[in-house]
């Protein structure tokens, strides 16, 4: 079987371990290379990101795609910090990136001194409260749909693979999103366990943290408010993410996700 030499950087955005492939790889090979990288136990990675382009002098300084062409806020934050570091920037800078699953470029405020990155998240294209579902605990659950991923918020339901798979079968049959996240949220201790399935690479992970899932949760929590800025710190298995929701006349005007990111040195491996 043919092996590929790839240069990679491993990012840790609040525990959501992401491998960035620096080589230009055809999309037809994404699934194969991603599955090989995900199988390397020492990396303990949850997702793979393929860098298409980095242009320091352009308005859009980088373009990347996730392996399943889904959207990922944590990978977007990490990508912007990676660009800033490779450019040799110090302190606070704004980096604009184009990422899979997002219809418009995203602005990311990075601090290379503190290894922090705050991304302006895309707005949801649909928010609904589910009803009439055969699975009883899905009724009254909040569904938040983004361009590249759909999330369902489940309050005070224990996180387990059996529950996730039951929901996945129902939602994939009905809607077939590129990626599906179930956010198991404990309202008493304010702790969320994110579980994410990516259709095109057929992977399911109990993730350390999930930026778009945190966004979906905070959209759900802010449904009762009409105007103002609402900030939430969401505890997750491998770290915290901070979400800020700004609403004007009961409409979302801005969403940001903030948190720490660590980046490894570049390494080259055969997969």
Fold of the 5-121+260-270 domain: Diaminopimelate Epimerase; Chain A, domain 1 (3.10.310)
Q: Look at the chain and count its residues.
A: 271
Catalytic residue among 49, 72, 160, 218: 72
Under DSSP, is residue 72 helix (H, G, I), strand (E, B) or coil? coil
pLDDT in tens, 175-232: 999 999 999 999 999 999 999 999 999 999 999 999 999 999 999 999 989 899 999 9
- Of 3.40.50.300, 3.40.220.10, 3.10.310.10, 3.40.50.10490, the CATH number of 126-257 is 3.10.310.10
Q: Where are the domains of the chain?
A: 5-121+260-270, 126-257
Percent of all residues in the chain with a pLDDT value above 70, rounded to a whole number: 100
State pLDDT tens for residues 82-141. 999 999 999 999 999 999 999 899 999 999 999 999 999 999 999 999 998 989 999 999
pLDDT band at 1 (very low <50, low <70, confident <90, very high): low
pLDDT tops 90 at residue 143: yes
Q: Are 256 and 118 in contact (CB under 8 A)?
A: yes
Tell me the per-residue pLDDT of 48-91, one tens digit each, with 9 for 90 and over: 999 999 998 889 999 999 999 999 999 999 999 999 999 999 99
Task: State the pLDDT at residue 3.
Answer: 82
Tokens of 5: 């030499």
**Tally of CB atoms within 10 A around 22:** 16
Confirm whether 218 is a catalytic residue: no
Q: Is 49 a catalytic residue?
A: no
Q: Of 49, 160, 210, 218, which residue is the catalytic one?
A: 210
213 HSE (CA, 13 A, CB side): 29
The answer to whether the beta carbons of residues 9 and 24 sit under 8 Å apart is: no
Could you read off the pLDDT of 194-208 as tens digits, one per residue? 999 999 999 999 999
Residue 236 has pLDDT above 70, yes or no: yes
Q: Do domains 5-121+260-270 and 126-257 have the same CATH topology?
A: yes
């Amino acid at each position: 079987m043919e092996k590929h030499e790839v240069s990679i950087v491993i990012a840790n955005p609040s525990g959501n371990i992401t491998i960035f492939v620096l080589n230009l790889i055809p999309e037809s090979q994404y699934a194969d290379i991603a599955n090989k990288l995900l199988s390397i136990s020492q990396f303990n990675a949850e997702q793979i990101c393929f860098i298409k382009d980095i242009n320091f002098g352009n308005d859009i300084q980088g373009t990347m795609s996730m392996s399943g062409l889904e959207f990922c806020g944590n990978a977007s934050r990490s990508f912007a910090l990676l660009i800033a570091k490779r450019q040799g920037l110090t302190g606070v800078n704004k980096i604009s990136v184009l990422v899979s699953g997002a219809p418009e470029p995203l602005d990311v405020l990075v601090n290379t001194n503190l290894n922090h990155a705050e991304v302006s998240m895309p707005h949801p294209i649909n928010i609904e409260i589910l009803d009439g579902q055969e699975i009883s605990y899905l009724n009254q659950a909040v569904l938040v749909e983004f361009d590249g991923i759909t999330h369902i918020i489940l309050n005070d339901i224990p996180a387990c693979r059996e529950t996730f798979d039951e929901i996945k079968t129902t939602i994939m049959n009905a809607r077939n999103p590129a990626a599906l996240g179930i956010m198991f949220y404990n309202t008493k201790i304010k702790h969320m366990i994110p579980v994410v399935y990516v259709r095109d690479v057929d992977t399911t992970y109990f993730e350390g943290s999930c930026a778009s899932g945190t966004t979906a949760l905070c959209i759900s929590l802010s449904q009762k408010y009409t105007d103002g800025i609402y900030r939430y710190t969401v505890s997750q298995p491998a770290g915290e993410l901070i979400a800020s929701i700004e609403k004007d006349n009961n409409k979302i005007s801005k969403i940001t996700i903030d948190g720490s990111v660590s980046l490894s040195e570049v390494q080259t491996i055969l997969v």
